[in-house]
Amino acid sequence: MKVTILNKENQNKGEVDFPSQFSESYRPDLIRRAVHALQSAARQAYGANPDAGQRHSSTISKRRRNYRGCYGFGISRVNRKIHSRKGTRMFWVGATSPQTRGGRRSHAPKADKIFEQKINKKENQKAIRSAMAASVDKVIVAARGHKLPETYPFVLAADFENLNKTKEIEAALEKLGLQAELTRSSVKKVRAGMGKLRGRKYRRKKGPLVVVSGKCNLEKAAKNLPGVDIVHVNALNAEVLAPGAQPGRITLYTEKALETIGKEKLFI
């Protein structure tokens, strides 16, 4: 599949073939699995302290003739902490057991639980190739809600990676026909629900993803553009290509990035 190379002035600089990785079949099920595997690996472990609620010096005996037990006294048989005693009578309070004051939880979350989901290496690579193919399919990208220019898909010229000013990058993207997309991704809305109280008050739509060959000026200069992400071609994964496990993110590959994909046979 041949695609046009455009520079920052939206001028045609020739054509280039997409590498074979972009001819992968569309597999949204595999992409979803790969994204969930990445998200599960990043999930932070949480749980109760294993000793929580069990630090009391409590005892329990269900033997009939043990005077420090609870058998035969008409009381519930739970762990009890003795405060004082007179003869064979004890003044005690419940402890340790789930329903008692200061006791443990019945089924507390376990901090040692493993949330990570596994995915085979070849399946993950196929998912990345499928997501790459979906990112240059105009129908799939438009169905995701992106505002596309008529010339999409296209490849950015090699000198695009040398831009070092945010306003230059914004102006270049607008000339390439992405002004509506930048406006769409700049809208910031307040999240509904309790997430507002948990450090994620605002939501913003994902904008263009620019894939570069390696470390460059563009990487730092584009940080202040809302919704725009810059990623090294070697660091591509299913989640950046399909945020929220939904394939078809608008993606702009630089000429050098495509060359690296073909030459190094990435994700094969």
Give the pLDDT confidence score for residue 131 in this predicted structure.
97
pLDDT at position 219 is: 92
Shared domain for 199 and 157, answered yes or no, is yes
Mean per-residue pLDDT over the chain, rounded: 93
pLDDT at 62: 82
Give, for 37, the enclosing helix (H) or strand (E).
helix 28-41
Residue 161 sits in the same domain as residue 39: yes
- Give the total number of structural domains in the chain: 2
**Full residue range of the structural domain in which residue 206 is found:** 2-43+118-264
Taking the C-alpha atoms of residue 156 and residue 210, their distance in angstroms, rounded to an integer, is 9
Strands 209-212 and 202-204: unpaired
CATH number of the domain where residue 175 is located: 3.40.1370.10
Which of residues 67, 88, 114 is at a domain's end? 114
pLDDT for the residue numbered 30: 97
**Could you tell me if 218 and 150 lie in one domain?**
yes
206 exposure class (CB count in 10 Å sphere: 0-12, 13-18, 19+): buried
Predicted confidence (pLDDT) at residue 16 exceeds the cutoff of 90: yes
Give the CA radius of gyration of the chain: 30
pLDDT tens for 252-264 read 999 999 999 999 9
Cα 225 to Cα 123: distance, rounded to the nearest angstrom: 33
- pLDDT tens-digit map of 75-120: 888 899 989 988 878 888 999 999 898 899 999 999 899 999 999 9
Q: Torsion over CA of 82, 88, 89 and 91, rounded to 10 degrees? A: -10
3-class SS at 191? coil
